[in-house]
Structure 1
Amino acid sequence: MPARQPIRLYGFPLSGHAHRVRLLLSMLELPHEVIDVDLPHGQHKQPEFLALNPRGQIPVIVDGDVTLYDSTAILVYLARRYAGEQWLPSDPLGAARVQQFLSLASGDIFEGPNRVRLAKLFKRDLDYALAHQKTLAVLAFLDRHLDNRTFLAAGHVTIADLACHTYVAHVPEGGVDLAPYPNVRAWIARVEQLPGFVPMQASPHAIAA
């Protein structure tokens, strides 16, 4: 039988969306190749990349004859295809609890921690005050939720934790201090101590926590 081809992950070193996928690939010990897309020069809007993702966004994975975009969709695919119940439970309640935090990652975390970082690091023309307000709200929610909890959706790590981790962990790059949120900081540390964890590259312009 021929050797299995590595999964190709198209991403960008400073993208939290790509990083969450890279985390799961690494933690599942799946052979993979990371291909950096030159976002600053618009490579993601060129025909070759648009053939992979017509939305012109990263991340994208190519797994044999499967091409898939959207970070949370990719996490679901990888967990279902290659992992057991731990990463994405199949029982209705367990699956729903994970989905709650996938929605949080795509909603409040995208609009808060992601956007304050985009505004500070990449000088995006965004409403920083609104993003900052949403960031404080989501951090307060997570800190309350994590009181007496080890992980977000279960008593063990799931894809919910990976979906939410990166932008929250890097929120100091957006000018937000994590010091008032001890449960969040402890959860970040637990995720980063998991086997296979790989850090996302810090921006050279990152603001010290």
Structure 2
Amino acid sequence: MLTIHGVPLSVHTRKAIVTAILKKVDYRFEVVIPVIPGNPPANWSTLSPTGLIPVLQDGDFTLADSTAICLYLDRKQPAPPIFPEDIRDYGRVLWFDAYAGGTIFRHVVHPLFVQTIVGPNIRNVPTDRAVIDDVLTNVQPKILGYLESQIAGKYLVGDTMTLADIAIVSNFIVYQYLGFEIDASRYPKLAGYLREIAATAVFQRALADERPFVDQMGLKRGFLSAA
């Protein structure tokens, strides 16, 4: 059985978990809580050369990085695929996965998470409201507007769930956990898309498994009632 190491709230950990659930790959989840305050387990540098989560262990094989893990799982259990056969659609899935990690997470989700959770609750540093305001006012609109323009159906690419959906929606789950909302009047397609994907069985199982951790941190789950 596979082991996935990470934190339930993590965008990247959830990406690996949802992929495993979608493919019906048996796995156990190992919570690596010490990673958050920067006090990892003694063997963490061996498991994760970067010190980041998630990490997958499959027997004596260890792999870090969420995208690498998802690609590995896709080869280990090909059905259902998380990449389409069409070469252009394949490229678009890779692009959205990169956009999720390199743009949405880096420039929106991560700074908001640091200012609302990590700073005040872990590092004892007051929230810098100016950072939050800058993200919401100057950074976020371009990203949300772009995503709104890319949605033409239930899924971002093709007619089945792909890594593009898993990566994008995993980010916005955390975004909404923090109490931020997508303005449905301004971004109706994006709001509907996120709601529908979050309501799928694979996401619902992952979100149910992480609920104790979310409740413990006092995060918002009201948005899921509409999913």
Structures share fold, TM-score greater than 0.5: yes
Partner of 1:49: 44
Structure 2 distance, partners of 1:152, 1:173, is 22
1:29 deviates by: 1.2
Unaligned runs of 5+ in 2: none
Deviations 1:44-101 (A, max 9, x none): 3x44011111111110000123211111121122123212473113442122011110
Q: Is 1:64 matched up with 2:59? A: yes
Partner of 1:195: 201
Structure 2 distance, partners of 1:206, 1:84, is 34
1:34 deviates by: 0.3
Q: Which runs of 4+ in 1 moved over 6 A?
A: none
Root-mean-square deviation (CA, aligned residues, Å) is: 2.4
Unaligned runs of 5+ in 1: 1-5
Contact 1:8 1:33 in 2 (8 A): yes
Which of 139, 163, 166 is matched with 1:162 structurally? 166
Matching of residues 9-28 of structure 1 within 5 Å: 9-28=4-23
Q: Is 1:117 matched up with 2:130? A: no
Q: Which is helix-richer, 1 or 2?
A: 2
Matching of residues 106-185 of structure 1 within 5 Å: 106-110=101-105, 111-123=107-119, 127-132=131-136, 133-146=138-151, 148-180=152-184, 181-185=187-191
Contact 1:108 1:134 in 2 (8 A): no
Task: Say if 1:18 and 1:48 are closer, same or farther in 2 by CA, change over 3 A.
Answer: same
Contact 2:23 2:80 in 1 (8 A): no
Aligned length: 202
- TM-score, normalising length: structure 2: 0.78
Residue 8 of structure 1: SS of its match in structure 2?
Answer: strand
Residue 53 of structure 2: SS of its match in structure 1?
Answer: coil
Contact 2:9 2:174 in 1 (8 A): no
Structure 1 distance, partners of 2:37, 2:111, is 21
Structure 1 distance, partners of 2:36, 2:150, is 37
1:123 deviates by: 2.1
- TM-score, normalising length: structure 1: 0.84
